[in-house]
Amino acid sequence: MFYCAIMKTDFSRRLFIAAMLASVSERAFAKAPLASLRPKPRSGNSKAAAVKPVIKSAKSLISQAKLGGKIGFVVADAKTGLVLETHNPLLAQPPASVTKTITALYALDLLGSGYRFKTRLMATGPISNGRLKGDLVLVGGGDPTLTTDDLAKMAASLKRAGVREISGKFRVNTAALPLAKSIDSSQPDHVGYNPAVSALNLNFNRVYFEWKRRGGSAGRYDVSMDGRTNRYRPAVRFAKMNVVNRELPVYTYKDANGADNWTVARRALGKGGGRWLPVRKPHLYAAEVFQTMARSHGIKLPRTVTSKGNINGQVLVEHKSAELRVLLKNLLKYSNNMTAESIGMMASSASGGTVGSLKASAKEMTAWSKSHSGARKSSFVDHSGLGSGSRLAAGDMVSALVKQGPNGQLAHLLKQIPLRNSKGKVIKGHPVKVHAKTGTLNFVSALAGYITAPDGTQLAFAIFTADEKRRNGVGKADREAPRGSKSWNKASKRLQQGLIERWAGLYGG
């Protein structure tokens, strides 16, 4: 059923925020009139009214989309909280990457916008004549943005600190966060958007697999695995690739002998190419790349030993990430899943509780969201939205947006979403401005944020669409790009834009 209300000036901001945040119940949404009506034009202005474009009803837009599954949306005045129009406002849907907006609020509250992740090199003994008499420890602090370039700079700094060799062990310490070998175990093994998450991450926990046909002969390939950036391409041994004769699957993965062991079907390789593969042992990845960078500065390190627990020693080198506000802006723009998980788990750790796993951390965020963000019926299984077990209602999402306000921290972190014409091209200079977070899974599409109408009216909205029956029918091997998902997603985006243009025209003049 659809509900719509015409804006009234005698409602206070406090009244409507209270109504939205108190319980987000059916009763709270039931106060809106049943009819969705535009204000009638004043007399003498019939000619102007006659040339105004017809605003399609929400019901007709949904019918034209032909999505199947379930749809829920809410739009409200972003400043007062007055609910303007709803459809299934309390329906809990998979929020996909819209989850990252809640993660951002969670992290801002518990870590602060100026928080920086730290990666350290620590010594457990003194340095004398270039020799470290003790262990060298690479200590992960959960930085989701650490790159090979950063490790190269840390190796150079270690040399400047006077270290040329060590008498003890080279250890990696990952006590700051638990290891999650993947974000969502139901995803295909080879997709780069589903890597491990650890206290020590590198290159978004992806390794680059490259293949070239050997000497131009068909069927024979030279393959490599490296931790490349634009500047460096250090080869790695912790991840191994073997080309095998088979049709399908294209890739297989196995954790064996302390390494990530991959195979790839020969017939899928063609002449040559490359792709990023997920890393399941990120601490070993970072350690190996650092060893390579240190070696380039004449510092030879022994084999890596993993350790946990507090490290007592001297900090020789410290690398700091950008401030959290910068990381979150990039997170909401590029939607990297590993970044969301690392930030979310560190926020849970900062709350004072023990973070035993990614799911336990998501449970902490669920509890926080119910008491702090206005999303009282939310339920999360991770911090990125990759896992389909998360649920969020459109009414809850709009409650959180209204609580933050159209000029709050979150609004400034959201990216601008361009509106497009029927051919999919961006409409330059469109009078309606949208700053929001998108979310996409197979047969799931979500969008939530703020609309600025041509007359300056600011609206908060959330649109969740999902055909879970079709989603659940996709086999694991086909989940990277299942048949029909691309066209379904396009249809959902057309519906989203149609609703946005309707609301901007109806409520923002």
Model confidence pLDDT, tens digit, residues 405-416: 999 999 999 999
Structural tokens at position 217: 């002969």
pLDDT tens figures, 381-409: 999 999 989 999 999 999 999 999 999 99
Task: Write down the domain spans for the chain.
Answer: 13-30+56-113+324-507, 117-321
Angle at 33 between CA 453 and CA 392, to 5 degrees: 65
Which pLDDT score, from 0 to 100, does residue 112 have?
A: 98
53: confidence class by pLDDT, cuts 50, 70, 90: low
pLDDT of residue 225: 98
Per-range mean pLDDT, top range of 20-34, 188-202, 216-230, 345-359: 188-202
pTM: 0.90
What is the structure's pLDDT at 231? 96
Q: 13-30+56-113+324-507 and 117-321: same fold?
A: no
In residues, how long is the chain? Answer: 509
Label residue 205 exposed, middle or buried (CB < 10 Å: 0-12, 13-18, 19+).
Answer: buried
pLDDT number for residue 170: 98
Q: 117-321 maps to which CATH number?
A: 3.50.80.20
The DSSP code sequence of 53-98 is PPPPPHHHHHHHH---SEEEEEEEETTT--EEEEESTT-EE--GGG
Position 424 pLDDT exceeds 80: yes
pLDDT tens digits, one per residue of 210-263 = 999 987 666 789 999 999 999 999 999 999 999 999 999 999 999 998 899 999
Q: How confident is the model at residue 428 (pLDDT cuts 50, 70, 90)?
A: very high
Tens of pLDDT, residue by residue over 294-339, are 999 999 999 999 988 888 999 999 999 999 999 999 999 999 999 9
Q: Stretch 433-456: mean pLDDT, rounded?
A: 97
Local confidence band at 1 (pLDDT 50, 70, 90 cut-offs): very low
Extract the tokens encoding 462. 């959330």
Residue 154 is predicted with a pLDDT of: 98
Distance CA 127, CA 165 (A): 9
User: Residue 454 and residue 503: Cα distance in Å, rounded?
Assistant: 11
Q: Pseudo-torsion of CA 68, 72, 76, 79, nearest 10°?
A: -120
**Strands in 214-284 per DSSP E:** 221-226, 239-244, 251-256, 259-265, 272-278
Percentage of the residues of the chain whose pLDDT score is greater than 90: 80
Instruction: Report how far residue 114's alpha carbon sits from residue 136's, in angstroms, rounded to the nearest whole number.
Output: 29
Handedness of CA 307, 312, 314, 318 (dihedral sign): positive
What local confidence, expressed as pLDDT, does residue 422 receive? Answer: 84
Segment 96-117, tens digit of pLDDT: 999 999 999 999 999 999 999 9
DSSP 448-507: EEEEE-TTS-EEEEEEEEE-HHHHHTS-GGGTTS-TTHHHHHHHHHHHHHHHHHHHHHHH
Shortest CA distance to 371 belongs to which of 110, 96, 72?
110
What are 311's two structure tokens? 């490290």
Amino acid at site 403: K
Tokens of 10: 């005698």
Is the CA virtual torsion 229, 288, 278, 346 positive or negative?
A: negative
Helix (H) or strand (E) holding 151: helix 148-160
Between CA 375 and CA 15 the distance in angstroms is 18
Q: What percent of the chain has pLDDT over 70?
A: 89
Strand partners, 426: 420
pLDDT at 452 over 60: yes
CA distance 503 to 432: 10
For position 21, what pLDDT does the model report?
35
pLDDT computed for residue 216 by the predictor? 64
Domain 13-30+56-113+324-507: give its CATH superfamily. Answer: DD-peptidase/beta-lactamase superfamily (3.40.710.10)
Residue 354 pLDDT greater than 90, yes or no:
no
Check residue 508 and give its pLDDT: 87
Half-sphere exposure of 427 (CA within 13 A, CB side): 12
Q: What's the angle, vertex CA 280, arms to CA 278 and CA 285, rounded to 5?
A: 90
Which residues are within 8 A (CB) of 171 and not within 5 positions of it... i.e. 6 or more apart?
135, 136, 137, 138, 304, 305, 306, 307
Start-end of H helices in 335-446: 337-350, 358-368, 394-404, 409-413
Cβ-contact 506, 38 below 8 angstroms: yes
For 266-289, the pLDDT digits (tens) are 999 998 999 999 999 999 999 999
Q: Mean pLDDT, the chain, as a whole number? A: 89
The pLDDT value given to residue 113: 98
Which residue stretches of 391-432 are H helix? Answer: 394-404, 409-413
Residue 142 corresponds to which tokens in the numbers above? Answer: 């959960």
* Pairing between β-strand 2-4 and β-strand 136-139 as defined by DSSP bridges: unpaired
Lowest mean pLDDT across 46-50, 218-222, 376-380, 384-388: 46-50
Q: Note the pLDDT tens digit of each residue in 461-476.
A: 999 999 999 999 988 8
Asked if 447 and 439 touch (Cβ cutoff 8 Å), the reply is: yes
Q: What is the pLDDT of residue 142?
A: 97
- Predicted confidence at residue 509, as pLDDT, reads 65
Comparing 376 with 245, the larger pLDDT belongs to 245
**pLDDT of 118-168, one tens digit each?**
999 999 999 999 999 999 999 999 999 999 999 999 999 999 999 999 999
> 96: which 2 tokens?
């996909």
Let me know: does 171 contact 162? Beta carbons within 8 Å.
no
